[in-house]
Structure 1
Amino acid sequence: MKNDQLSQIWNSQQYNSNIEGPDQIIKKAKKQRNSQFISIAVMSVTVIILLIYAGYFIGNNWNSFTLGMILMISSLAFRIILEFISLYRKESQLISLDNRSYRKYLKKYYKIRLKVNYIITPICFAIYIIGFTLLLPYFKQMFSNGFYTYIIISGIVSFIVIAVIIIKSILKEHHFLTQLNGK
């Protein structure tokens, strides 16, 4: 997407004073796009690490360790796919719609995102935690008590940090939707 072309298209349309100018929209779109790419990158690195770990430790036996790894990997992979779909769907609409239609599309888009954030994300997060919990008995057998305690504490801290990031993201998207609705 070229900023010059997008600015020309938006500037050539009737301008409504309630709608931000193209430069502001482009700036917000880039910021959100970058944050989505960072989220995708972090989740992808985590999936790669889990896949390497799973490849090294999972044998031919089906047990709760295998199930835990599958749950963790699949919940993250599902979220990565959702983020890519969301990212590219919104970007394609930005280029193809006029400013009023795009604003209307954004309202619909963020309502759907809120549903994803309130329903799908907590389910994926819970599945990931369940997968982690299934790994704990194996970690207890494999590692010393000190390192096992470290895994539990760092796991809990990580889950709290991730939950705060998710909540912050949900609140930001909710605030943006409220702004779009003019409330």
Structure 2
Amino acid sequence: MENDNLNTIWNKQNDSLQIDSPSKLIKIAKNQRKGQILSLAIMATTVVVLIAFTIYTKTNQWNDFALGLTLMISSLFFRIILEMFTLFRKDNQLVSLDSKTYQDYLKKHYKDRLTINYIITPLCFIAYVYGFIKLLPFFKVEFSNGFYTYILVSGIVSLLVILYIIIKSILKENRFLQELKQKK
């Protein structure tokens, strides 16, 4: 139903679209929304796991372990709130603006995302990694050498995969912004 309403709105407008067609822009917007929702779900699941781990370990004194968990949870929680805000703000604009104004809005939106992508995301990632590093000495003491090695290796691999996904998503957003700029 939502797609039908959007198609109706777009089709009522003039054909001076700068992107090939309204359906292409809607398709791109839907794909990006799916990616953002998947990212939100992964980050939220990670936050829930970290909070459950915090409750399980009953950390009631402030030390590097508590600092590490706090950094990891807060950096992800901040990113979740930021992503939700930009996602829903963009969706609200999609249904309220004509195609030309929406394209102008998208250019501004993706320029704003540059700040998120190049300043906020790296800071959150660094805080998360630093939090993970703060946990390692505690894991080394509490777990066997084999399990500690597993945590270390899987943690590093996971961080590298996350870094790859972040970089890929930033490059995709930058390409889309360049496409919007070229289609004047």
Task: Give the TM-score normalised by structure 1.
Answer: 0.96
CA drift of 1:54 comes to: 0.3
Which whole-Å CA distance do the structure 1 matches of 2:19 and 2:93 have between them?
A: 16
What letter matches 1:163 in structure 2? L
Unaligned runs of 5+ in 2: none
Please name the residue that 1:56 is paired with.
Answer: 56
Higher relative contact order (CA 8 A, sep 6+): 2
Matches within 5 A, 1:70-149: 70-149=70-149
Instruction: Give deviations 1:80-123, integer Å, cap 9, x for gaps.
Output: 00110011000000011110000000000001112101100000
Q: Is this contact kept in 1: 2:17–2:99, CA < 8 A?
A: no
What letter matches 2:119 in structure 1? I
What letter matches 1:54 in structure 2? T
Q: Is this contact kept in 2: 1:64–1:134, CA < 8 A?
A: yes
When the two structures are aligned, how many residues end up with a matched partner? 183
Q: Percent of aligned positions with the same letter in both sequences?
A: 57
Q: Is this contact kept in 1: 2:43–2:80, CA < 8 A?
A: yes
Which whole-Å CA distance do the structure 2 matches of 1:94 and 1:8 have between them?
A: 13
Which whole-Å CA distance do the structure 1 matches of 2:47 and 2:24 have between them?
A: 34
CA drift of 1:18 comes to: 2.6
Instruction: Tell me the secondary structure at the aligned position of residue 59 of structure 1.
Output: coil
Which whole-Å CA distance do the structure 1 matches of 2:57 and 2:178 have between them?
A: 47
What letter matches 1:71 in structure 2? L
Which whole-Å CA distance do the structure 1 matches of 2:177 and 2:75 have between them?
A: 26
Which whole-Å CA distance do the structure 1 matches of 2:149 and 2:129 have between them?
A: 17
CA drift of 1:76 comes to: 0.3
Q: Which moved more, 1:47-56 or 1:153-162?
A: 153-162
Which whole-Å CA distance do the structure 2 matches of 1:40 and 1:92 have between them?
A: 18
CA drift of 1:21 comes to: 2.1
CA drift of 1:17 comes to: 4.8
Instruction: Give deviations 1:138-158, integer Å, cap 9, x for gaps.
Output: 000100111111111111111
CA drift of 1:31 comes to: 1.0
Which whole-Å CA distance do the structure 2 matches of 1:122 and 1:30 have between them?
A: 26
Counterpart check, 1:43 vs 2:67: no
| Runs of 4+ with >3 A deviation | none
Which whole-Å CA distance do the structure 1 matches of 2:170 and 2:49 have between them?
A: 27
Which whole-Å CA distance do the structure 1 matches of 2:157 and 2:70 have between them?
A: 22
Task: Give the TM-score normalised by structure 2.
Answer: 0.95
Unaligned runs of 5+ in 1: none
